[in-house]
Amino acid sequence: MRYVLTFMMLLVVSFVEASPAPDWVFGKGHPSYDPSQYLMGVGYSKENTVSASESARAELIKSIRVTVNSTIKDYRSSDKSFSEASISSESDFLLEGSQVKDGWYDEDKEIFYSLVVIKRQFVLDTLSEMINNIISKNSLTLRQADTFYNNGKIIKALVYYYDGYVESSKLLPYIQTYKSVIMEPTNQVLEENYNLLFKEKIQNIVGHIQLEKIDGSIEDKNVLFSVRATYKGRGIDNFPVRFFSVYKHHVERVICESDGCEIKTPVEDILNKNNTIFIKAVPDFKTFEKYFTYNLTPRLFGSFDVLEVSYKELYNDVLQEQEDVARQERYQSLEDNLNNRQKELDNKQKELERMARRHYIENRQQIESDAMAIRMEQEIQAMKRSGCNVGCRRKQIPLYGGRGSLNFNIGFGKGRNRGNINIGRGW
């Protein structure tokens, strides 16, 4: 503070003392400040020395940008917010490094003049630090965005690419300013075109985003309309879509997932006097913009304006078609019921026939078995009545019409006359 007060007193004295205008007032430089080492700004004011010094600082900043005015102008016209942010930051650090070093008062014209200087190296060092910080940040942002992109998170990747695009846009004024301040051509600043890289990434994504119609129909007096957003044929998560009626004021905003999204709207809400339904789906740019840190430029996202799908239908035709379909479904249902009933009857008939055949076979076998037992019993009784107990043979008695016969050989004792019963079955 002591040095500041001392300088201000000297400055006031220099203003008070009547003297010829120094060369620096006319922009011819100052003997104490080598142009190769210092940048200078001359300002003036009719009010006071403070105003003159502020004017000098403004002129200093302006003189630094003399070689980049056209660049800044073009930059401002295309991306105004970006250029203004960069210029503001640039002005801040220049004002911090500048110093008021001389002054003069023109008594005849009653004008205060002020000389402000700043070291070139201070400007270069500060700019280099700022440029390198932006480049480092751009590099990190690019890696993060690429990771999201490779994982199929298209919206997240787009947000990061756009952040990088905006931040890298600040490099241009800084680099151009650096080039205007530097004196030695060999002392170059690191310059990488991240801005163009981010721009190409964004254009690649936006240019391949499509809005596709999945289905459109009317069911139970409700309009069903489904769509999905895709990137190179794959569904996109968290893509905002706006549905609206063309004939009536009806708007619905929906966040689409990768498999799509749907609205269900009563017919009467969008039906016009001609009984026509017309509804469109477009990107919800208002909601989409909320995902981003910075305002979106139409130059990069203008293609969203042409993305749309629609569903249009004459309601009377739909009703008639639905009646026809319902009638056909009823006829088909009746026919299917008849066919099913006939199949059931046929199956029951077949089952009864199988049961009858099985019962017949079982009864036949039982009858044959009972008959055989009866014949055997009759043969034994006949032999007993004839007195034949051992070694006698009886005439074979055919069963069931000669289909078979029984042969008995009954004997008791040892050897040939040992007790046995032989049955020969000939059927």
pLDDT in tens, 52-103: 888 888 888 777 764 444 444 444 444 444 444 444 555 566 667 788 888 8
Distances from the Cα of 229 to the Cα of 200, 211, 257, angstroms: 21, 5, 8
pLDDT digits (tens, 9 = 90+) for 13-23: 454 455 688 88
What token pair was written down for 220? 């139970």
For the ranges 185-189, 308-312, 343-347, the one whose mean pLDDT is highest: 308-312
139, 143, 145, 151 alpha-carbon torsion, rounded to 10°: 170
Side chain identity, residue 397? I
**Do the Cβ atoms of 39 and 178 come closer than 8 Å?**
no
Structure tokens at 55: 């004017």
**Is the pLDDT assigned to residue 118 strictly greater than 80?**
yes
| Per-residue pLDDT band at 201 (split at 50, 70, 90) | very high
How far apart CA 328 and CA 2 sit, in angstroms, is 101
Two tokens at 390? Answer: 């051992």
Residue reference for tokens 């630090």: 129
Q: Please tell me the pTM assigned to this model.
A: 0.60
Q: Where are the beta strands (DSSP E) in 33-161?
A: 38-45, 99-106, 111-119
What is 240-297 written as a DSSP string? EEEEEESSS--EEEEEEBTTBEEEEEEHHHH--TTSEEEEEEEE-HHHHHTTSSSPPP
Report the distance separating Cα 376 and Cα 365, nearest Å: 17
CA nearest to 238, candidates 152, 144, 141: 152
pLDDT of residue 3: 37
Least confident interval from 13-27, 257-271, 362-376: 13-27
pLDDT beyond 70 at 404: no
Structure tokens at 305: 């304006």
Distance CA 347, CA 353 (A): 10
Mean pLDDT, residues 158-172 taken together: 91
Which residue type is seen at 369?
S
Under 8 Å CB-to-CB from 19, ≥6 apart: which residues?
104
Give the confidence band of 151 by pLDDT, cuts at 50, 70, 90: very high
Average confidence score pLDDT of the chain:
79
- Exposed (0-12), middle (13-18) or buried (19+): which is 201, by Cβ within 10 Å? buried
198 vs 124, residue with greater confidence: 198
Taking residues 139-155, report their average pLDDT.
96
Residues of the chain with CATH 3.10.28.20: 2-120
pLDDT-derived band at 318, boundaries 50, 70, 90: low
Q: Tell me, what's the pLDDT at 422?
A: 52
State how far the Cα of 233 lies from the Cα of 19, in Å rounded to an integer.
79
Lowest mean pLDDT among 275-284, 291-300, 322-331, 390-399: 390-399
- Please state which CATH number belongs to domain 2-120: 3.10.28.20
Residue 325: pLDDT band by 50, 70, 90 thresholds? low
Q: What is the pLDDT of residue 23?
A: 81
Say how far apart CA 93 and CA 99 lie, in whole Å.
12
- Phi and psi angles of residue 405, each rounded to the nearest 5 degrees, phi first: -150, 160
CA-wise closest residue to 213 among 263, 178, 273, 248 = 263
Q: Is residue 389 very low, low, confident or very high in pLDDT (cuts 50, 70, 90)?
A: low
How many alpha carbons fall within 13 Å on the CB side of residue 143? 5
